[in-house]
Structure 1
Amino acid sequence: MEQYLNLCRHIKENGVIKEDRTGVGTKSVFGYQMRFDLAKGFPLVTTKKTAFRLVVSELLWFLKGDTNVKTLMKEKNHIWDEWAFEKWVNSESYKGPDMTNFGVRAANDPAFKTIVEEQMEIFCSKILSDEQFANEFGDLGPVYGKQWRSWPGNDGQTIDQVQNLIYQLKNNPDSRRHIITAWNPAEVDDMALPPCHSFMQFYVANGKLSCQLYQRSADVFLGVPFNIASYALLTHLIAKECQLEVGEFVHTLGDAHLYLNHMEQVETQLEREPKQLPTLILSSDKNSIFDYEVEDISLVGYDPHPRIKAPIAV
C-alpha cells in the first residue's frame, strides 16, 4: 500500500491550508490518482488496522438500496451515526444539551466529548428500539444506495444502475458506458452528506474487469482506506458475477485532504512499514451480487499494525 502512503506524503509536502465546512481546517491538494493491481492482493491498508467488516456491511447496505442507519447499527457499524445524530440534535424533537458543532468541540474538550457520547448512546438506542424514531431520524435521505438502485427517472419510474451495469458488462463488455453515478444534482441538497465518492466507470479488457472511481472529496486519513477497500470489493463482486478476472482499481481524487487534527496520526502511520496484502475470499455459493451477506465475505492473511484513532469531522 505504498500508493496510499505516497498520497499522505504528497499532501504533507505539497498541500495548501484550506478552511472547510467542518471548521477543522485541512491541508489539501487537487487532482491525484492511485492505481491498484487487484491480482496482487486485496488493497486494505496495513499500516493501521482497518475494520474490514465495516467496509463489507456498508457496501452491502449500498447495494441493497438502503439509506437508514438502523440497518448498519444492527451490524454494529456506526460509521454513519454522526450524520443521522446531527439531524436529530438540530431538530425540535431534541431536548438535550447544546450539540452545536459537536464534532469539533468534542475533539478539543474531553468533558464535552463525554456528553456527546452519552447523547449518542441515547440516540442509537432509540434508533434500534423505536421504529417511528428510526424512520424520522435514521434515514439519511437519497444517499448512495438510493441513487445506485433507484435513481428517479421519468414518469415516476426508477433506474437500477447496478443491475443495468451488470447486464451491460455481460452482454456488451466493450461499451464505454459502464457507469454508475451517485451525484444527482436534483437531490443532493436532501442528502445528509452529498456523495464524496460520486462517479465510477468499469472497463473490460483481456477477460479482466477494472474500475475507476472519481472521488470529489477525500478524507485521506479516515475515509480513503475505506473507500479503496470498498470499491476494490465491489469490483471483485461484479467480476465474479460476470465471470471475469479482476484488473485494476483506479482511484482518482479531486480535493484530497488531511484534516489538521489528523497530522500526528499521519506521522505515526508513515513511520510504519507496510505489510503483505491479504487475500479476499468470496462465498462460492452466491451467484448474484445482491445475495451476499456479511458472513459471505472474508480476508485471509490480514496482519496490520495497530489501529490509530482520530476524530471524525462532521
Structure 2
Amino acid sequence: MSRTDLIYNELVKEIHKEGVWDKGESVRTKYSDNSPAHTKSIIGRQVIFEAEDIPIITTKHVAWRSAIAEAWWIWFMRSNKVEDLRQLGSKVWNEWELSDGTIGKAYGFQLSKPVRKTEINIKYGEFGYSHRYKCKVNQVDYLIKQLKENKSSRRLVTSLWNIDDLDYMALEPCVWSQQWIVQDEKLNLIVNQRSADVALGVCFNWFQYKVIQSIIAKLTNLEVGRLVWNFGHLHYYDRHEEKLLEQIKGKTHNQPILALPSKEELEYYIYVENPCKDNLMKMFSLENYNHNGKFNYEVAI
C-alpha cells in the first residue's frame, strides 16, 4: 500500500465519522437535475508528502493524463481558453465554459498577468538560442527567475486569488495559493486549497501539483522536496458517500513511477512551441500504475 492511499482513506473515514452536513443550508452547488448538492465536511487539515511519494491513489483510477494536461494548461500555457485544454486531451472544464469560450479571469489568466518589470535570460539549449531582455514577467516566469537567483527568499508565493477579478471567474479557484521554499537544494511546495472535493478533486490535484513541483524543480536545477497540502473545507457530496466508502475498502497497490522529460525538452515546449496532445503525453509516463478501475462520481456544478 502506498502512503497516499493510507492518507486518503483516513481523510475519507474522518469525514464520515466526524464531518458535519450542510443539508439544512442553502448551497450554491447543484447536480445536473438541479437538485442541491449538499456536503459533509471537516475543516483545517494538513497532509505532507515526502519527496519520494507519488501522490496518486490506487483504490480507483485517477485520470493522470488529464491531470497533467490541466496543470500544463494553467501553469505553462497560462491559458483560460477551454478549447486549448480540450486540444491537450482534457474535458474537465467543459461544464464551466462561458459563452466566450473561456473560464473568465481565472486560473491561467491570473498566472499570465504581468507582475513586474525585470530582466530575463531565456536559454533554449539545443532547441534554439539565448536571449536577454527586459520585460514585464508573469508569476511563473518570475518564480523561476527568483528560484535561480534568490532561492533563499521567503517571499516566493504564487496566487490565483485576485479579489478584483472574482466576479469575472466561471469558478473561483479551489487551489488558490502556493509557497515555494528551498532548503538543502530541495524545492518544497506548500499548497493551500480552500474547498476540496475528496471523491474527485483531491486525488486529481495532489498528483498534478507533484508534477508542477517536479517541472519547476527541473527548470531551476533543484531536487524535489516535500509537498505540503493545507485544506480549508474538505468534503464529500451526499451522492458520493456510499460509493466512496465502498471505494476505500478496495485493494491497494504500490505507488507507480513518474518519469519526466529533460529540462531542454520542457523549455522548448514552454518557451518555443506549445505541445499538442500527443507530444504532451509522450513527455510524461506513469509506470506500474495499478489500480481498481474507474469509480464514476456525479459532478456538482
The answer, yes or no, to whether TM exceeds 0.5 is yes
Selected match of 2:142 from 164, 184, 190: 164
Displacement over 4 Å in runs of 4+: 151-154
Q: Which amino acid aligns with 2:77?
A: K
What pairs with 1:171-182 in structure 2 (closer than 5 Å)? 171-182=149-160
Deviation at 1:76, TM superposition (A): 3.1
Paired residues, number? 261
Q: Which residue of 1 aligns with 2:120?
A: none
Is 1:33–2:46 an aligned residue pair? yes
Q: Which residue of 1 aligns with 2:211?
A: 233
Q: Which amino acid aligns with 2:181?
A: Y
C-alpha separation in 1, matches of 2:149 and 2:88: 35
- Contact 1:141/1:192, CA 8 A, preserved across alignment: yes
Deviation at 1:287, TM superposition (A): 4.8
Q: Which residue of 2 aligns with 1:286?
A: 265
Q: Considering only aligned residues, what root-mean-square deviation do their CA atoms show, in Å?
A: 1.8
Deviation at 1:75, TM superposition (A): 2.9
What pairs with 1:62-141 in structure 2 (closer than 5 Å)? 62=74, 63-84=76-97, 87=98, 136=100, 138-141=101-104
Q: Secondary structure at the match of 1:186?
A: helix
Per-residue CA distance 1:2-21 (angstroms, 9 max, x = gap): 11111111111111001431
Q: Which amino acid aligns with 1:286?
A: E
Selected match of 2:224 from 228, 231, 246: 246
Per-residue CA distance 1:134-166 (angstroms, 9 max, x = gap): xx2x21111111111215779xx9650011111
Q: Which residue of 2 aligns with 1:302?
A: 289
Q: Which amino acid aligns with 2:105?
A: P
Structure-2 change in CA distance of 1:77 and 1:287 (3 Å): closer
C-alpha separation in 1, matches of 2:204 and 2:147: 25
Q: Which moved more, 1:200-209 or 1:17-26?
A: 17-26
- Contact 2:197/2:235, CA 8 A, preserved across alignment: yes
Q: Which residue of 1 aligns with 2:7?
A: 3
- Give the structure with the larger helix fraction: 1
Q: Identity over aligned residues, as a percent?
A: 34
Selected match of 1:46 from 58, 69, 72: 58
Q: Which amino acid aligns with 1:221?
A: A
Selected match of 1:149 from 112, 135, 144: 112
Per-residue CA distance 1:230-265 (angstroms, 9 max, x = gap): 111111001111111111111101011111110012
C-alpha separation in 1, matches of 2:189 and 2:83: 30
Q: Which residue of 2 aligns with 1:130?
A: none
- For structure 2, the 5+ residue unaligned runs are 30-35, 118-134
Structure-2 change in CA distance of 1:287 and 1:262 (3 Å): closer
Structure-2 change in CA distance of 1:31 and 1:158 (3 Å): farther
What pairs with 1:173-192 in structure 2 (closer than 5 Å)? 173-192=151-170
C-alpha separation in 2, matches of 1:149 and 1:161: 7
Q: Which amino acid aligns with 1:52?
A: W
Q: Which residue of 2 aligns with 1:107?
A: none
What pairs with 1:237-276 in structure 2 (closer than 5 Å)? 237-276=215-254
Q: Which moved more, 1:141-150 or 1:176-185?
A: 141-150
Deviation at 1:290, TM superposition (A): 1.9
Structure-2 change in CA distance of 1:253 and 1:273 (3 Å): same
- For structure 1, the 5+ residue unaligned runs are 89-135
Q: Which amino acid aligns with 1:21?
A: R
Is 1:15–2:19 an aligned residue pair? yes
- Contact 1:64/1:290, CA 8 A, preserved across alignment: yes
TM-score w.r.t. the length of structure 2 is 0.82
Q: Secondary structure at the match of 1:280?
A: strand
C-alpha separation in 2, matches of 1:151 and 1:56: 24
Is 1:55–2:18 an aligned residue pair? no
